[in-house]
Amino acid sequence: MAEGRKFEYPETMTDDEIARLGVLVSEVDRSVQPPLPRSWEEIAVPGKECRHANGILGRLLKDHFPGMVKFPGDNHEEEPAFTWHHYKAKVDGNGRSFAQRVNDEFWQYYKCEDGYEEVAEYVMEKACRKLVLDMHYEVRIQSVINYHFEHNKVKLAKGAARAKPLAREEYMKVLPRWVINESVCWEKMVDKWCTNEWKAKHEERQLRRAAMIRIPHHQGNQNLRSFRNAVPVSEYKAYALSHKAKASAVTPYNDSDPAEAYTSLTAYANMQQYKEVFQETHGADSDPTIQVLDPEVVMVVGKGLLCFSWFAPSAPRSYCADLPLHTPEGGASNDHRPSGASDNNDPHGSSPQS
């Protein structure tokens, strides 16, 4: 056990997260434990394609978008549902929060394996918090793409669209499907993008993005477990290879490869530090590249940060449910299940990825 190593909770962690991750400790007489997982393990039904769980969630978040939300209390005003907390705060006519509606419909597409319910609830929370933010980030870019195609007959790639914000009146001409009945909400969202404060922050982040010398990884929308399904190697080697090339183009792992062989220098530094701590813990002759990742070592190297996400113990296993098509609550009948297709009627395939 890796006892005696200390670390502090990241400032970005909420009190609720710290309470639920009570296994993270800094006392000298207790061992460092890993956090709960943040990803799903999807088990396909034979003969059926298993859709990505987060892809389904992303579509449901749009189908059940709350629109304008007012938090309890006199100090709050109505505002667009920019976060997962807004979904929790708004209640429909049946007394259910919009977050509960998303959760209930999600489990019509999947079945959670017995014994994983509590962990699945935690992963659902983490996924939805990120997906709502991603949804708002992507919709502005998609609106730029759609506007230029519909009004200027010009096809823009996402990279170009990021650098070409529209004027307020132009945004108002390309409402996405999921806010088509929430015009006031869309106006508020657009107003935020048009403020000097937002523009300054956007320009700052563009400069940071441009300063990136290399891409962070080659996993795409796959987690490390999915990458390993395509490249059957140890967890450590899968992490290494995912920072060298796509699963379809990787070469065999070579422990002597220098930092220049990796697209992420940070990932290479993490790997070297993991090796050092692993051998301090298990002996100088131990080989971390062929062993199962040690969660205690991972947490020590990552200093307790959740973003150092090599390890996902006991991931909730969800089965794709073989259910009949149905009509989402409060919406028109679908002729297919959520699939991550464009929500802005994208004319050339650049649709937001949930």
What 8-state DSSP symbol labels residue 122? H
* Residue tagged 């007012």 (tokens): 70
Assess whether pLDDT exceeds 60 at residue 210.
yes
Instruction: State the residue for tokens 């400790």.
Output: 25
* Tally: H helices and E strands in the chain: 13, 5
Q: What is the pLDDT of residue 135?
A: 95
Alpha carbon distances (Å) from 61 to 70, 80, 120, 151, 193: 18, 14, 17, 29, 21
Break the chain down into helix, strand, coil percent, rounded to 5.
40, 5, 55
The 3-class SS string of 3-47 reads: ECCCCCCCCCCCHHHHHHCCCCCCCCCCECCCCCCCCCEEECCCC
Q: How many residues belong to the chain?
A: 354
Q: Is the pLDDT reported for residue 290 higher than 60?
A: yes
Q: Determine the residue type at 238.
A: A
pLDDT at residue number 339: 35
Range list of β-strands (E), 261-329:
317-320
Query: What token pair was written down for 228?
Result: 């390993």
**What value does the CA radius of gyration of the chain take, rounded to a whole number of Å?**
22
Q: What is the pLDDT of residue 177?
A: 92
DSSP annotation of 75? T
CA distances from 135 to 54, 214, 221, 340 (A): 12, 25, 15, 11
Q: Which tens digits make up the pLDDT trace of 74-98?
A: 788 899 999 999 999 999 999 999 9
In 3D, which of 79, 61, 62 has the Cα closest to residue 70? 79
The distance in angstroms from the start CA to the end CA of the chain is 39
pTM above 0.85, yes or no: no
Please check the confidence at residue 52 and state whether its pLDDT lies above 70: yes
Residues in a beta bridge with 317: 41
Tokens 């919709």, located at residue: 139
Provide the sign of the torsion angle of the four alpha carbons 209, 214, 215, 217, taken in this order. negative
Residue 233, class by beta-carbon neighbours within 10 Å (0-12 exposed, 13-18 middle, 19+ buried)?
A: middle
Type of residue at 179: V
What's the token pair of residue 126? 């983490």
pLDDT digits (tens, 9 = 90+) for 17-47: 555 444 433 333 333 334 455 567 666 566 6
Using the predicted structure, report yes or no on whether residue 343 has a pLDDT greater than 50: no
- Distances in Å between the alpha carbon of 213 and those of 216, 262, 264? 9, 12, 9
Contacts of 59 by beta carbon, 8 Å cutoff, 6+ apart: 338, 339, 340, 354
Q: Is the pLDDT of residue 323 over 80?
A: no
- Residue-wise pLDDT tens digits, 94-153: 999 999 999 999 998 888 878 888 888 888 998 899 999 999 999 999 999 999 999 999
Minimum mean pLDDT among 2-6, 173-177, 211-215: which range? 2-6
- Which pLDDT band, with edges at 50, 70 and 90, does 321 fall under? very low
Report the pLDDT value the prediction gives residue 3, as an integer from 0 to 100: 40
Amino acid at 288: P
Measure the CA–CA gap between 233 and 252, rounded to whole angstroms: 10
The string of pLDDT tens digits covering residues 237-272 is: 888 888 888 777 777 888 888 888 888 888 888 888
User: What is the identity of the amino acid at 348?
Assistant: H
- In the prediction, which pLDDT does 205 show? 82
| Calpha distance 34→24 (Å, rounded) | 7
